[in-house]
Every structure is written in C-alpha cells, then in structure tokens.
C-alpha cells in the first residue's frame, strides 16, 4: 500500500519529578538535602530514511508518545532520561503543524530530521534549594510537560526525471524497460495509481526516474485526484512528456499535449517552466512518425520517437535525459558556489598596527580682543 499523506498526534514525554530527600547516615545527624534531579522526557523526532519509500508505516498508529523521564532519587542520584521516539519517513517528506499550518521542516536529504514533540525537562531536586537560611528545604520541581501537537506528513517524490502524460501513454512500460522497477502494466488507463521509482544506470552513474500517475484535463483544479498527482511533479528536475500517437479514446494527440501543458501551467506551483523532453511513444505503430512530425511542427521544438516494446529510440532518449540532468546539476553547483558565506576580518587584519592613522590638525581658538 502506497501512502503519501498522513496525520498523526505526537507528544513528548514529561520530565521526571525531582526528589526531596535528606542524607541519613550514622554519625551524620544533619546530613542536609540530597534529592536528585528528574530525568528529561523523550522527544518525538521525524527523520528522513533512504530505505523508506512511503508513509504506510505510520498509518497503523495515530498516536505516538515518548516515555516520561524517571524521577530523581536520594544521594543526589538523577533519574534516567527517556529514549527518543524516531519516526522514519522517505526523503521528500514535508512536516507541517496541522493547527497552525506552518511548515516545521522539509526533509529533503537522507538524515534530515526535526523534533516535532520535544520532551519536558526534568525537575530539580531539593538540593538546589538549600541556602544559608533554608538548610532543610522541602521544595522540588515536578518536571515540565512534553510538547504535544497534531502534525501532517506529506510526501513529494524526489526524482531526477518524471514521466508525465495522459493515462495509457506508455509511462509504466518505459519505466520497466529502462530500470529494474516492476510497475503494474495493463492495457486500460489509470493502471498507475501512485508514483513508482526506478534507477536508470548509465555508465558509472545514472539517475532516478519516476512513473507518475496519468493526468487528465482539469487536474490543476483537482479533477481526477489531480492535486494528489501533480504535487509529485514539483521535485523532479526534468519532465519526460509522453504523447500517445493513437489514443484509445480517439482523441487528438496534439490536443492532449497542449492539455497537459495547460494543467502544468495552472497548477498552484507552475510547472510549465520545468525542462521538458517531448517524445511520442509506441513507435512500433504505423503512422507514429507522422504524429511525431506533426507535433514537432505544431510546437516548434524537437520531438523524439521511441518504442518501449522494440527498444527503438530508447538510447537516444536516455542519452538526452542524462545530458540534461548533468547540465542542471552543474548549474546548481555553480549557483551554490557563488553563494559564499560572509567573510569576516581575521585577528591579524584588525590589529592596531594595520590601521593607518591620520594626524588631526590642531585648531587654535582666536584670541579675545581686549576692551
């Protein structure tokens, strides 16, 4: 089961109570206070794990609570702190506070984490309250309560390239041919109901490709779960737009291309400016090349032709995608390199001897005239 959105309740553990005890030993009649501090409560942490592929593991349990810290004890012994609760989610998960709607963190990279339910601090024991005037304090702190809230987790698939197009355009077949992914393939539309990821190996490298569910007209307004599908396109670097030459519903392939472009443009986060490779699938069908030529003339751009069944044009398509992704990564690296941190002067640069002093001229006030 693929789950890309879930809401859960999280609560950090309460801090342990501080102890109010006194030292009692033989020949020590006035030992004084020796109550230890309580342990800190555990926190609830959401962490991005590359081994997780969706949020299905969080659907079986709606309430996640960390344990409370142990109370303090005598002889200044502090209570044991509770362990944290770690929730593993796929990279690309956005963590939001449900009540306020603000984003707590976008877990893009593996290892990114955010504390969603901070554990309470343990209370202090009575040893902290002794003074010259209060030598036998009985005060102690109960420990702070853990943070609690409802959070929403939303997964947006991270991939270098995403396959878009109308249902039954051949996206799943292409994914199964260029990678080891095994998506469900059938002759009827809407076979793909959730994104499928595959790794395309090219030489010593490669890239991640995502088979996204088919879009229909009105997807940008939510028709046919359009919002659920389009949000997965947000994190792809390159779009591979597949156009079926002879749709089963006898629609015009040129119109279908423009319809998908319209939905990408009207989405809440406009996606029509994303780098795109347009290609006509099912090249084994007679007349597919004529459709490709017509689409190229209509759009004024290059249109590739391939067949996932016979393998025709696949090397050209994969080579073009690989080059485009490499160029985009290089541009991103150059842009990151230009954003250098502010350089502050070193200690040697601010020594007194490094400054040039300018002599200030002496101004003599005019003498007063004698009456």
Query: Tell me: the pLDDT tens digits for 182-206?
Result: 766 555 455 555 677 788 888 877 8
106, β-bridge pairs: 94
- When mean pLDDT is compared across 163-167, 296-300, 329-333, 342-346, the lowest value belongs to 342-346
- CA separation for the pair 187, 169 (Å, rounded): 10
Q: What are the structural domains of the chain?
A: 1-155 (2.70.210.12), 159-334 (3.40.50.300)
- Please report the pLDDT score of residue 224 as a whole number: 47
The overall pTM is greater than 0.75:
no
Q: How many CB atoms lie within 10 A of CB 203?
A: 6
Residue 353: which pLDDT band, with cuts at 50, 70 and 90? very low
3-state SS, the chain, equals CCCCEEEEEEECCCCCCCCCCECCECCECCCCECCCCCCCCCCEEEEECCCCCCCHHHCCCCEEECCCCCCCECCCECCCCCCCEEEEECCCEEEEECCCCCEEEEECCCCCEEEEECCCCCCCCHHHHCCCCCCCCCCCCCCCCCCEEEEEEEECCCEEEEEECCCCCCHHHHHHHHCCCCCCCCCCCCCCCCCEEEEEEECCEEEEEEECCCCCCCHHHCCCCHHHHHHHHCCEEEEEEEECCCCCCCCCHHHHHHHHHHHHHHCCCCCCCCCEEEEECCCCCCCHHHHHHHHHHHHCCCEEECCCCCCCCHHHHHHHHHHHHHHHHHHHHHHHHHCCCCCCCCCHHHCHHHCCCCCCCCCCCCCCCCC
- CA separation for the pair 356, 46 (Å, rounded): 55
- Please report the pLDDT score of residue 84 as a whole number: 94
C-alpha 165 chain-centroid distance: 25
The two beta strands, 93-97 and 103-107, are antiparallel
Q: Does residue 128 register a pLDDT over 50?
A: yes
Question: Tell me: the pLDDT tens digits for 236-257?
Answer: 888 999 988 888 778 888 888 8
- Please report the pLDDT score of residue 118 as a whole number: 94
Compare 84 and 101 and report the one with higher pLDDT: 84
């Amino acid at each position: 089961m693929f789950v890309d959105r879930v809401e859960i309740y999280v609560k950090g553990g309460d801090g342990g109570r501080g102890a109010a005890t006194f030292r009692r030993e033989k020949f020590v009649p006035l030992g004084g206070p020796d109550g230890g501090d309580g342990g800190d409560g555990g926190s609830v942490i959401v962490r991005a794990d590359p081994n997780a592929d969706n949020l299905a593991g969080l659907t079986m349990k709606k309430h996640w609570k960390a344990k409370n810290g142990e109370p303090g004890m005598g002889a200044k012994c502090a209570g044991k702190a509770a362990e944290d609760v770690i929730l593993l989610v796929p990279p690309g998960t956005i963590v939001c506070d449900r009540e306020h709607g603000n984003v707590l963190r976008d877990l893009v990279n593996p290892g990114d984490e955010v504390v969603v339910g901070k554990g309470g601090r343990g209370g202090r024991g009575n040893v902290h309250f002794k003074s010259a005037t209060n030598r036998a304090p009985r005060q102690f702190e109960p420990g702070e309560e853990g943070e609690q809230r409802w959070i929403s987790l939303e997964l947006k698939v991270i991939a270098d390239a995403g396959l878009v197009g109308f249902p039954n355009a051949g996206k799943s077949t292409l994914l199964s041919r260029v990678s080891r992914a095994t998506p469900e393939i059938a002759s009827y539309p809407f076979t793909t109901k959730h994104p499928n990821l595959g790794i395309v190996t090219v030489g010593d490298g490669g890239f991640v490709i995502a088979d996204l569910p088919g879009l229909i007209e009105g997807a940008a307004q939510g028709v046919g779960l359009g919002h659920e599908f389009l949000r997965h396109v947000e994190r792809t670097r390159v779009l591979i737009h597949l156009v079926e030459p002879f749709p089963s519903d006898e629609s015009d392939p040129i119109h279908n291309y423009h319809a998908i472009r319209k939905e990408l443009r009207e989405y809440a986060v406009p996606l029509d400016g994303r780098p795109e490779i347009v290609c006509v699938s099912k090249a084994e069908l007679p007349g597919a090349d004529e459709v490709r030529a017509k689409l190229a003339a209509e759009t004024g751009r290059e249109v590739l032709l391939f067949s996932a069944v016979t393998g025709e044009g696949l090397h050209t398509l994969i080579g073009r995608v690989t080059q485009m992704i490499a160029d985009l990564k290089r541009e991103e690296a150059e842009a990151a390199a230009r954003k250098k941190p502010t350089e502050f002067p070193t200690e040697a640069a601010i020594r007194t001897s490094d400054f040039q002093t300018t002599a200030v001229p002496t101004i003599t006030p005019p003498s007063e005239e004698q009456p």
